[in-house]
Amino acid sequence: MSADMARDVVERLRGVFRSGRTKGLAWRREQLRGLRTLLTEREAELADALRADLGKGAVESYASELGFVVNEIDHALRHLERWTRPERVAVPRSLMPARARTVREPLGVVLVISPWNYPVMLALAPMVGALAAGNCVVLKPSELAPATSSALARLLPSHLDDQAVTVVEGAVEETSALLEQRFDHVFYTGNGHVGRVVMRAAAEHLTPVTLELGGKSPALVESGVDLAATARRLAWGKFFNAGQSCTAPDYVLAVGDGTADDLERHLADAIRAMYGDDPSRSPDYGRIVNERHFDRLTALLGSGRVVTGGGHDRASRYIAPTVLGDVKADAPVMAEEIFGPILPVLRVPDLDAALDFVNERDKPLALYAFTGDPASRRRVLIETSSGAVGFGLPNAHLTVPGLPFGGVGESGMGAYHGHRSFETFSHAKAVLDKPLSPDTMRVVYPPFTALKERLVRAFT
């Protein structure tokens, strides 16, 4: 795609938006229902694409991708009318009589750039908010999930208004051409390096951005908790999608003497219970997206003592669910987000040391804590900063429509899901309505007298 071709796409959509066809509630509902129909009627086709790209099983595909977006759509349809109502606000005495309100209006033409790890959910969930807010959308799916990208490009035009929603497939060249254009919002999910590229390009047009990035999300485990249950929760959160989740626990800080040893044993048991003695044969365990990421991940396996797992096969892009023990803070596996099925366990003497460890690093997308001590929970909330905090369960906070999902600092900016998605893709327009009669503004018109000054001081 050349810059001229990208410009033509955006200008065509801008013309559709200016016509007003996307602003009515009927159009918005029609698009959301069309998207829902796509997900339900073409579930098998999309599940096949996800299996081809990532080795996902049908249940995992539904739970984490297709069903997730259906829930987002249903939530938006239930609340759309309320979200779009003008919101009355109080007017100060100095302006009375008058009325004030905020009116939500769509931004215009928005660009959604989605990643490969959840190539359906992370493409369509932002679109739910964009369409609910009444925007035209350009979707750029990831070329690293080619089967899913092709399926979306084929199916979306037949279920949505193809004059208002466009899918652009391709790689760096196509993304770069799109980023040269003036959009009204750019929504990017991916890594921080590309996030900086997106933000620089958007800055040329003063385009607002939402950056959903990642980072090393820690899990703090204190002694005294049910370590068997904790291990099951951690194993599920970490090895779901073969660890290729931005909210997956990236590493564990085992707090206190003996916690790490007991937790490692329970983690091995939990992995065996979920995926069997040979996870490569499990229909519920995925694969690494490509050979480049496979090679990157296998190079990290020597960063500690292998507690369980460690097996791998490049031909099938398989890496076993792996737990590493005795990992040092400066080990290669701790240098960057792992984004794969490797879980390092680090030993720290107490909660002070655990919190210091977290705070010495970039703010994570999520922080998980397993503790039965209310004082520890308060300290985790107050003394750390992260996009989200999960007590007792990783990943699941993003399934709550009422909770904003987003990062802070290096883990991103802006948030979405539920009402926050609608807010992200709309503008809150301030409206003040003051009648011309009676003209109470006379008190602030020059020339100023002593009486006017007293009134100004009294009412402002």
CATH of the domain at 157: 3.40.605.10
What percent of the chain is predicted at pLDDT more than 90?
Answer: 97
457 belongs to a structural domain: no
Note the pLDDT of residue 459: 82
Query: Residue 114's CB: how many other CB atoms inside 10 A?
Result: 28
252 belongs to a structural domain: yes
Residues 234 and 188 in one domain: no
Task: Give catalytic status of residue 136 as yes or no.
Answer: no
Note the pLDDT of residue 414: 97
Angle, CA 294 vertex, CA 394 and CA 114 arms, to 5°: 60
Residues 254 and 208 in one domain: no
Q: Crossing angle for the helix pair 121-132 and 67-84, nearest 10 degrees?
A: 10
Residues 87 and 139 in one domain: yes
Catalytic residue among 136, 222, 246, 423: 246
113 belongs to a structural domain: yes
CB 339 within 8 A of CB 144: no
CB 324 within 8 A of CB 338: no
Residue ending a domain, among 404, 420, 453, is: 404
**20: which 2 tokens?**
């007003």
Q: What is the band of 389 on the pLDDT scale with cuts at 50, 70, 90?
A: very high
Residues 191 and 338 in one domain: no
Residues 16 and 140 in one domain: yes
249 belongs to a structural domain: yes
Residue ending a domain, among 404, 436, 453, is: 404
By C-alpha distance, which of 457, 391, 412 is closest to 189? 412
By C-alpha distance, which of 184, 211, 156 is closest to 387? 211
438 belongs to a structural domain: no
What are the tens digits of pLDDT across the range 187-218?
999 999 999 999 999 999 999 999 999 999 99
CA 346/CA 260 separation, integer angstroms = 7
Amino acid symbol at 99: R
459 belongs to a structural domain: no
CA 420/CA 14 separation, integer angstroms = 24
Note the pLDDT of residue 88: 97
Residues 171 and 309 in one domain: no
CB 423 within 8 A of CB 276: no
Residues 71 and 136 in one domain: yes
Mean pLDDT score across all residues of the chain: 96
Q: What is the CATH number for 333?
A: 3.40.309.10
Amino acid symbol at 132: A
Note the pLDDT of residue 460: 77
Residues 107 and 181 in one domain: yes
Residues 28 and 119 in one domain: yes
What are the tens digits of pLDDT across the range 19-68?
999 999 999 999 999 999 999 999 999 999 999 999 999 999 999 999 99
Q: Specify whether the backbone of 355 is left (phi greater than 0), alpha (psi in -120 to 50) or beta.
A: alpha
For residue 232, the Cα-to-chain-centroid distance in whole angstroms is 24
In sign, the C-alpha dihedral spanning 76, 78, 80, 85 is negative
Contact residues for 438 (Cβ-Cβ < 8 A; gap 6+): 97
Note the pLDDT of residue 304: 96
Catalytic residue among 60, 72, 212, 423: 212
Task: Give catalytic status of residue 174 as yes or no.
Answer: no
Q: How many domains are contained in the chain?
A: 2
Q: What is the band of 458 on the pLDDT scale with cuts at 50, 70, 90?
A: confident
Residues 194 and 241 in one domain: no
Domain limits for position 309: 218-404
206 belongs to a structural domain: yes
Residues 144 and 233 in one domain: no
170 belongs to a structural domain: yes
What percent of the chain is predicted at pLDDT more than 70?
Answer: 100
Residues 295 and 179 in one domain: no
